[in-house]
Amino acid sequence: MIDNYRGAMAYLESLMERDRDKDKHAGLARMWALLNAMGNPQEAYSTVHIGGTAGKGSTAMILAAILKNSGYKTGLHVSPHLEDARERMQVNGKFIPVEMFVELVNYIMPFIEKVHDELGYGWPSYFEALIALTFECFKREKVDVAVIEVGMGGEYDGTNVISPLVTVLTNVGLDHTEYLGNTVEKIAREKVGIFKQGIDVMSGVSKPSVVRIAKAKAKKSICRLYLLDREIKWKLVKYGNSTMIFDFQFDREALKHLALSASGEYQIRNASLSVAAALSLRKHNFKISESSIRRALGNIHLPGRFEIVGRKPTVILDGAHNPMKMEALVSTLVHNYKNKKIKVVFASKKGKNVGEMLSTIGKVADTFYFTKFQATTDFGKNMSHDPSELQRHTKVRSLLFDNASEAYRKALEEAGKTDTICVTGSLYLVGELRSQINRRRDAIF
């Protein structure tokens, strides 16, 4: 019997080290076996499914906030987590108690053993176990609706066992190429695997070849596909460093001067998809008011997404970890901090396109502080790039550190009060430093 959070995480992480016989049980067979053994908790409430390459986490958080502000008890699953695994199973924006998390791990252990020992499907993965925990958590909490973010892919992602009322597909680009394919089109074909028969899809895909793939899948699945910048329209009214104002229109609903508490034009795109998804839930008797949308957007907080955690110097945490997200980050940095010296604390997970990411952010970087993260990823331990490998991809001044804290301290030491420090390249790095920065800030104030 496990009796604390550390022990619960140690058990879950131990699943990474076990032979899961991937080839024999490819796809979702093992995930289904685990959920069937548990009584299919994912069927106990309504769901919305959110996939894509860039923005799916922010979109999920914004939609969950709209539903909560509309009076619905709302579950939210995002991945990976920044600091605490309970981020993956939030209820009305709050973490479940540690005691409940530990109880859930104890509950699921016999089912994990059964899937391996009796049913012959091999060991469920770390990610599969956390998804099953999340589904059971939301069942116990009796949520009205749960917003479920896809983990990595689409068709064969462990979350693709739900029957959502609405599906959202954000923009699609190159990421996880070692698993999903080395072209945007191959990745898109995997991502659209979350489209369900007859279920409306809100999508931010923009590349013509990807739009064609999404349309073909929607036609085959008899889905109504609503595209951003076509059926879902938005217009920037005022750009601010902490709040942006935009107009929105979808399905005969026009909302003027919506205030979004976030930075970066890309977040308006994410918010527009979230609002469209929320309004489409009206078809399923959800009562979504304009006032609830305004409250949610105006008070949203997106951890690790252009999150400002320090002033003089300005310290920004942003988990951009692929070329598409890095482009969005750099665009926002240029807009908000033009002509400022930007010191970049950077680490990345192995397998990422670090060359393109560093080329992009190198355009605004004054100095790189290359380091590594210690966090256990959804793919295993010791997954951080060696800092010296990162250094080879840039001619910008750079320093190397084995420890992320040391890299951040050096950046603080070298930064002037008017400079900007940006921690980026990986959500795992952001999570590792975020907890330390917040503890330091709490100690000061």
Provide block-wise average pLDDT over 10 residues at a time, the chain (445 residues).
Answer: 95 83 66 97 98 92 98 96 94 97 98 93 94 98 98 90 97 60 81 96 94 95 96 94 94 95 94 98 97 98 93 93 91 89 94 91 96 84 89 94 96 94 95 82 37
- Residue 384 gets which letter from DSSP? B
Residues 36/135, Cβ–Cβ less than 8 Å: no
pLDDT value at position 21? 55
pLDDT value at position 383? 86
The three-point CA angle 215-170-43 to 5° equals 90
pLDDT value at position 182? 62
Domains of the chain listed by start with CATH number: 5-299 (3.40.1190.10), 307-444 (3.90.190.20)
Question: What is the dihedral sign for C-alpha 395, 401, 404, 410?
Answer: negative
pLDDT value at position 255? 98
Structure tokens at 242: 């902490």
pLDDT value at position 20? 52
Cis peptide before 313 (omega within 30 of 0): yes
Residues 148/47, Cβ–Cβ less than 8 Å: yes
pLDDT value at position 351? 82
pLDDT value at position 175? 52
pLDDT value at position 187? 87
C-alpha distances out from residue 166 to 74, 200, 341, Å: 15, 5, 43
pLDDT value at position 376? 81
pLDDT value at position 26? 58
C-alpha distances out from residue 72 to 65, 69, 146, 302, 405, Å: 10, 7, 10, 20, 40
Which residue type sits at 205?
V
Burial class (CB in 10 A: 0-12, 13-18, 19+), 73: middle
Which residue type sits at 261?
S
pLDDT value at position 443? 36
Indicate whether this model's pTM tops 0.85. yes
